Structure 1
């Protein structure tokens, strides 16, 4: 797992994005998720923080937490749900520019390199973040 994380961090740079005004600040989306037993019941969470243009002030714009009773919930599925909920809220609320941060090397690598997951059951979770 650590090898994949390091590979993601040292991978090729992402393509340049169009310039976005930061006059109203920058939004940061943090997400996480996990399951007890992997698989097992789990949960996920997301928080969006707005950092003011001067970077001296920050405010929480949105927070969500979810619990999953399904005993087949994996850590990666819970992580994806945290990411998906945060991205959906950012899209609906037009929160831009948005920077995303999570601790799942698997999720970050799959999204960064547009690589499908090894588990076919997880394939449906990779499409929503890419579409958002």
Structure 2
């Protein structure tokens, strides 16, 4: 099964209230496109954490191994995969090349687990540049950060 995921994160202040928005698209064997939108808001978090969470939420929503193309306007997320930063951080005991602790290790570890069953490709898209699905993810993320989609959750892994 081929799935396309678009994802974005938002933070009102950094740190501050934040949210993610994710759109999953799948075309079935009859050519019918199925769409699922996900979002959640957090009371105190960062933009980067929400960028990672959006991808995690999309992958965790899949109930079987898939071929997944993930689109994100976060170079932090896309480069962590495409430039193999994530595997290097993991091999180096969650330290950067400069021997500093990696930020957001809880979410990176969760992302690694979410990626495991899937064949994934990460694609960077320029934010706020007219990509309809990226724009929709931004709307979802901002609404979630503003508490318009429900109660703001606690980001239990966030450390200032």
With structure 1 as the length reference, what TM-score do the two structures score? 0.66
1:29 aligns with 2:5: yes
Higher relative contact order (CA 8 A, sep 6+): 2
Residues 99 and 47 of structure 1: is their aligned pair in 2 closer, same or farther, counting only changes over 3 Å? same
Aligned twin of 1:59: 34
Aligned twin of 1:97: 67
Match of 1:82 among 23, 31, 54: 54
With structure 2 as the length reference, what TM-score do the two structures score? 0.56
Kindly report the root-mean-square deviation, in angstroms, between the aligned alpha carbons of the 2 structures: 2.2
Structure-2 separation of matches of 1:53 and 1:38: 43
Aligned twin of 2:84: 114
Q: Tell me, what secondary structure is at the counterpart of 2:34?
A: strand
Structure-2 separation of matches of 1:113 and 1:47: 24
CA contact (8 A) 1:34 1:43 kept: yes
**Ranges in structure 2 where 5+ consecutive residues have no aligned partner:** 90-95, 115-160
How much has 1:27 moved relative to structure 2? 1.1
Residues 78 and 124 of structure 1: is their aligned pair in 2 closer, same or farther, counting only changes over 3 Å? same
**Ranges in structure 1 where 5+ consecutive residues have no aligned partner:** 1-24
Bigger mean CA offset, 117-126 vs 41-50: 117-126
